[in-house]
Amino acid sequence: MPTTRRQFLSLAGGATAAGAIPIVTLQPLEATPAMLSAAIRNVVGEAPVRTGKVKLDIPPLVENGNTVPMTVSVASPLTANDYVKSIHVFNEKNPQPNIGNFYLNPSSGRAQVSTRIRLADTQKVVAIARLSDDTFWQAAADVVVTLAACTEEMN
Amino acid sequence: MAALINVPSKARRGDIIEIRTLTSHIMETGFRHTADGALVPRDIITSFTCRYNGTEIFRADLFQAIAANPYLSFFTVAKDSGKFEFEWIGDNGYASTASASITVE
């Protein structure tokens, strides 16, 4: 017999009353654009994010999503009162939306970070820089992925 | 764990130098299943820090989207001769360190 919503709710309610709160953990299948914007809001808060200053270097077409080279650089004089505080990189469709947060300082010399990332699908990658005056700047790039990463079966 | 560190051994004061690091780690995402359907538990490096003569000059939070054997390259200004210390911290109590020295003239 299929469980109706009403039965399920009353069961859940009963369990709560008995002191055992049911914990349901849902494993998201992929970061939806909503998760992407939520992850970005988590970092920038209510501040506006302007396009510019940030350069995101990533191949537009990758055969293997398991190692995608990526470089983010920010145009900044890197002086004691005008520098890049941090760089945050996000993806749109991996199982979770964060890629990395990188923290810099006035003596970084050059506001540039390179790493290798995984992409589970053809999607958009967004890099956001936080400057010392707490303004946010972004760049986005679309990447076509032929072989997906992250969720493949283990052999 | 083995780590590859690339720091110039010599630099002039004020030079901008590139630091490249590569460490060996599986970076298991926690989203994969074995052939019989069991979830492979997450095992990733979550944090990387680089200190230059004791001062933190670069730090990174890493997520599952960082590829296996995390590679990071970043820059700093050569100020004084001394030591760079690198630290990786991750799931299941994972911790690894490495260091490299530089002569600044």
Give the pLDDT confidence score for residue A18 in this predicted structure.
47
Option in A27, A99, A154 nearest B34 (CB) = A154
Query: What percent of chain A is predicted at pLDDT more than 70?
Result: 76
More confident of the two residues A103 and A26? A103
Over residues A50-87, the pLDDT tens digits come to: 999 999 999 999 999 999 999 999 999 999 999 999 99
**Beta carbons of A54 and A141 less than 8 angstroms apart:** no
Over residues A17-32, the pLDDT tens digits come to: 445 555 555 555 567 7
Query: What percent of chain A is predicted at pLDDT more than 90?
Result: 71
Confidence of residue A150 (pLDDT cuts 50, 70, 90): low
Q: Which residues of A touch B75 (CB under 8 A)?
A: 108-112
Give the pLDDT confidence score for residue A147 in this predicted structure.
82
- Mean pLDDT for B49-69 is 97
The string of DSSP letters for A67-92 reads: -EEEEEEE----BTTB-EEEEEEEES
As a whole number, the mean pLDDT across chain A is 86
Q: Which residue of B has its CA nearest to A79?
A: B77
Give the pLDDT confidence score for residue A21 in this predicted structure.
53
Question: pTM for the complete prediction?
Answer: 0.85
Query: How far, in Å, are A23, A25, B63 from residue B86 at the CA level?
Result: 39, 35, 18
Cross-chain Cβ contact B65/A105 below 8 Å: no
How far apart, in Å, do the first and last CA atoms of chain B sit? 32
As a whole number, the mean pLDDT across chain B is 95
- Mean pLDDT for B72-83 is 97
Interface test with B, best of A90, A102, A128, A130 (most B CBs within 10 A): A102
- Rounded CA gap, B49 and B29, in Å? 21
Amino acid at A71: T
**Beta carbons of A111 and A78 less than 8 angstroms apart:** yes
Option in A95, A115, A155 nearest B31 (CB) = A95
Give the pLDDT confidence score for residue A148 in this predicted structure.
76
- The radius of gyration of chain B's CA atoms, rounded to the nearest angstrom, is 16
Whether A10 shows a pLDDT value over 80: the answer reads: no
